[in-house]
Amino acid sequence: MAAVTMAGALNRALHDAMDDDDRVVVFGEDVAALGGVFRVTDRLMERFGEGRCFDTPLAESGIVGTAIGMAMYGYRPVVELQFDGFSYPAFEQITSHLAKIPNRSRGAVQLPVVVRIPFGGGIGAVEHHSESPEALYAHTAGLRIVTPSTPSDAYGLLRDSIASPDPVVFFEPKRRYWSKEDVDLPVSTEPMGTAVVRRQGTTATLIAYGPTVATCLEAADAAAEEGWDLQVVDVRTLVPLDIATIAAAVEQTGHAIVVHEASVFGGMGAEIAAEVVEQAFWTLEAPVLRVGGFDIPYPPAQLEHYHLPDVDRVLDAVERSLSY
């Protein structure tokens, strides 16, 4: 069994998908000759040629528009938008066309497009390289929204996304690109649309996705020294949301804390908290709490460690929940 990084697992998933299906094409800014800013597309052009892995101009709207057109002609495009903040120029293409054409055509036109977006902070980058825009896309009907937290999940969820007949926005937690896991690829994981319990516990339930899953696991380890037995749920797929698994986990503890990097106001935590209240109201022993970024534009790199949820802020929320 070998130690695999998340970036390496994503690269292998793209390689295997292209090897299995000639219709899979990869394109975006610097994905071919350079192999991508984070090397996720490394050596794909050498292996599959310039016809199936190619560089595009710096025009995100054009990248997604091209993917929509190619999907209409039978291809299965996987495009990379270099950073989260760069997805906004493509927002209109994604929300007005990619998400809506399948429904607008009553299913006659399917768009199996995957839009890969490195997201979140923690690497010392600037504002529009460190954002968490997942709620913007999750609110758009017609899209599936996926985010892995481990290398094996990165492989499995990306393969699922490429095979999906529906458009997928695939958020890759950039500060976890170099996290490692001992795993033999290819690997089968739980399918897209399912949440998983990463750590069993009885004191309180932490609900997280993408980059904050590892933070919550660290918090659970630290909490064990205090005598708390914390449970950690990895949401994995924001749309569709597996509320059944999340609610069942909350029912075991009666205490729920949702943790994400995005600003708390209007974030995915609000939706998850509302769903938990609807589904698990009678078992709750305290209000559902949220831990996230502050309601400010993303701060300068030197200050981002104050902005991002860390172990101490998670444990403070657990203490507040248990004190009710």
> What is the rounded CA–CA span in Å between residue 128 and residue 121?
10
User: If phi over 0 gives left and psi between -120 and 50 gives alpha, with beta otherwise, what is residue 253?
Assistant: alpha
How much of the chain is helix, strand and coil, in % rounded to 5?
40, 20, 40
Burial class of residue 300 (count of CB atoms within 10 Å of its CB; 0-12, 13-18, 19+): exposed
d(CA 235, CA 250): 13
129 included as an active-site residue: yes
User: Do 121 and 263 form a contact (C-beta atoms < 8 A)?
Assistant: no
3-state secondary structure at position 49: coil
Q: Which helix (H) or strand (E) holds 14?
A: helix 6-20
CA dihedral 263, 267, 273, 274 (to 10 degrees): 140
Strand boundaries in 165-309, DSSP class E = 168-173, 180-183, 196-199, 204-208, 230-234, 237-239, 256-263, 289-293
Active-site pick, 15, 97, 128, 129? 129
Q: Other C-beta atoms within 10 Å of 81: how many? A: 23
DSSP string, 79-94: EE-SSGGGGGGGHHII
Residues annotated catalytic, as ranges: 129
